[in-house]
Structure 1
C-alpha cells in the first residue's frame, strides 16, 4: 500500500485511475480545480463516487494556487505523485491559449517543485500523442523527435516534458511521462468526439466530420490506459549509474532517471469506421457534416507500445466495438436516453 497524490481526480482519466488504485488498496489524495471547461456536475459526481471510499480524500483548488498545493502535498506526504490535471482540448487551445500556459506549464512546474521538495519515490506525468505533431513516421516511438508541435496545447505538454527532464537530471527526481492516444470510455469528457457523436446521433443532430472523414486515430479504452499507468507506478526510472542491460527501444535519458512511455491501442482506425461502429451500437444513422481539416489537427495517430509491454508485461488490447459498447451503455444510463 502506498500513499499516492493524484492531480485531476475529478477528471475523466483521473477518476478512473483513482478508482483503480483504491481497489488495489492504495490511499489516494485527489487535487482538482473542478473548472467550468465542461459540465461541473459530471466532475462533482465523479468525485462523489470516489469519496465513498475510506481511502480517498480530496482538495478542490487550482494548481496555480501554490500555497494550497504545497500545504496539501506536505500534509499528505505522498510516496508517489501522479500528475494528470491540465487544461485539456486541442481545439480549445486555439481560442484560449493563455489558460494552457497558466495551468499546464505553471501548474506543472508547481507539481514538479513539490515532488522535488518531498523527495517522492516516483513522479508520473500525463503527456499526449499531440507532442508528435507533424512527425510523418508511424507508428510513433517514444524516441522519435517531437520538435514540431502544432498547437499551444501540444507545445505546453512538450514544454512540461522538457521541464521534467531538467528536474530529473538536476535533483535525481525519478520521472515517467506517459503519452496518451485518443482515450475514450464511460464517465468521459463531453467535449471529446466520441461523446459528442453519440449525443448527436441519439438526438438526431448532425455531427461535424473533419478532413471529410480522412482521419485515423489510435483509440484507447480508458480501462486499458489506467491499467498501463498503474503498472508503471512501481517502475521508477533508475539513475544512469544504477542501470543494467538496457531494454530494446527504451527511452531512458542518458543523464537522468527519466523515461517516456506510449500508452495506446497500437492500431489506427479510420474515422468513418469509428462512426459506423457507433451507428450500429446506437441503432441510428449519423448525419455527417463534412468539413475541411481543423487548424492544428493531424491526419493520423498510431502508437508503438512495445516499450510499455517490455516494462510491464501489459499491452492495451480492448477492441473498439467492446469499448464503445460500454460507453454507449453508460451514456444511455447516465442521461436516461
Structure 2
C-alpha cells in the first residue's frame, strides 16, 4: 500500500492512451484523494481530476506546480510514445522524453523528496538484446532508436537526481493496445483500414509492414492494473524497482492480421508497404514478467483475440458516428 489511503496524486500524460485509462482507474482506487493531471492540452478534462496546464519541459512551471500540489504519488507517463514518429522527430522526442523527465524529477527532488514515483519506461530499451530471447530485468539495455534511447536516459536521470528518500518504480512496458489507441500504432492502423473498407471509404486493401515480426502485446487495462498493483505494493518494494510489464508471450503480427480477417465484414487484399518497415527491426521482442508476478498478484486478463475484436468495434463505432454526422 502507499503510505496513506488518501494520497495526493499527480499524473503526467493523462491525456494519452494509457493515461486516460489510468485516470479513470485511479478515481475508482483512490476516490477520496486529491488528483491532479499535468497536461499541456488546454482542452483536456477528466471527471474527478484537477487540471494543471503546463509544458512538462518547462522547469519553472513544473517546479511551481509540484511545490503547490505536494503529491505523495507521482505517475510520470508524459512522452512522445510512437517509435515510428521518433525516427523523424528525434529532437522533439528527446526534449519530451528526457528533458521532460528531468524537469519532473528535479521538481520532485526539491519539493517532495519522500514521494513515490512511477516512471512509465519501455521494453524497447532492451533493443538489440531482445534478439537473445525474452528479456528479464537483468538484461543490459541496448536501445536502437531515439525513442528507446530517450526512455533509457529518462530512467537514468531519475535514478541520479531523485532524493534517496524517494521510492522509484521504473515500469518497462512492452507493446499494448486497445480501444482508443490512435492509428500511428500497428494494431489500430490495421483495424482502421479494415473498417474503412467495410464502410466503403477505401479500397479493400490493407497496407502493412513486417508481418513476421513477433511482438509481446498486453491490453491497456492489464498495463494499468499492473501500475496500480505496483503503487499499492510500494511499501514492500525497495527504493528502486525496475520491472517489466508484459504478457511474456510474443506472437507474430500476422496472427493479429489473421484474426482481423476472420472478424472483418468484407474480404481484403494485404499489401506489404516498404514505407511501413522499421529500420533495425527486431525479429522477436518479448519480455519476461516473472518479477512482476512475484511482486504483485497480477496476470493478463485480456486475450489477443479480444484486443482485435475491441479495436474493430471501436473503429466501427467511430466511423458509424462520423457517417451519421455527415448525413445530418
Is the pair's TM-score, using the shorter chain for normalization, greater than 0.5? yes
Which residue of the partner structure matches residue 153 of structure 1?
147
Count of equivalent residues: 304
> Which string of whole-angstrom CA distances, capped at 9 and with x for unpartnered residues, describes residues 9-30 of structure 1?
0100011011101011243211
1:1-337 residue pairs with structure 2 within 5 A? Answer: 1-24=6-29, 25=31, 26-34=33-41, 44=43, 47-48=44-45, 50=46, 52-53=47-48, 56-117=49-110, 118-135=112-129, 136-146=131-141, 148-168=142-162, 171-204=164-197, 205=202, 206-211=205-210, 213-236=211-234, 257-291=239-273, 293-336=277-320
Unaligned runs of 5+ in 2: 1-5, 322-328
- Is contact 2:37–2:51 with CA below 8 Å preserved after alignment? yes
TM-score, normalised to structure 2's length?
A: 0.86
**CA drift at 1:237:** 7.2
Q: Is the 1:167–1:173 contact (alpha carbons within 8 Å) kept by the matching residues of 2?
A: no
Post-superposition Cα deviations, 1:194-246, rounded to whole Å, max 9, x if no partner, equal 111111112235333223x21111111000000000011133377xxxx9xxx
Q: CA deviation at 1:64?
A: 1.1
Say whether the 8 Å CA contact 1:121–1:236 is kept in structure 2: no
Partners of 1:162 and 1:320 in 2: how far apart? 33
Change (3 A) 1:208 1:133: farther
Q: Is the 8 A contact 2:256 2:308 kept in 1?
A: no
1:189 deviation in Å?
Answer: 2.4
Distance (whole Å) between structure 2 residues aligned to residue 301 and residue 207 of structure 1: 24
Counterpart CA distance in 2 for 1:289 and 1:320 is 23
Task: Give a deviation string over 1:260-308, Cα, whole Å, max 9, x none.
Answer: 1111111111111111112223333343222454213322211211111
Partner of 1:247 in structure 2?
Answer: none
Residue by residue, what CA displacement relative to the aligned partner does 1:66-95 show, whole Å, maximum 9, x if unpaired? 222122222221110000001121111211
Q: SS state of the match for residue 242, structure 2?
A: strand
Q: Deviations over 1:48-80 (max 9, x none)?
A: 3x2x33xx1112321112222122222221110
Give, in whole Å, the separation in 2 of the partners of 1:19 and 1:116: 27
Instruction: Kindly indicate whether the alpha-carbon contact (under 8 Å) linking 1:78 and 1:120 is maintained by their aligned counterparts in 2.
Output: no
Deviations 1:90-131 (A, max 9, x none): 111211110012111111001111121212431000111111
CA spacing shift, 1:307–1:81, aligned 2, 3 Å: same
Taking the aligned partners of 2:85 and 2:161, their CA distance within structure 1 comes to 29
| Cα separation, 2, equivalents of 1:149 and 1:67 | 30
Tell me how large the CA RMSD over aligned residues is: 2.0
Partners of 2:89 and 2:21 lie apart in 1 by: 27
CA separation in 2, counterparts of 1:183 and 1:265?
A: 10
Aligned counterparts of 1:89 and 1:73: Cα–Cα separation in 2: 27
Q: Distance in 2 between matches of 1:270 and 1:280?
A: 16
Alpha-carbon distance in 1 for matches of 2:196, 2:8: 44
TM-score calculated relative to the size of structure 1: 0.84
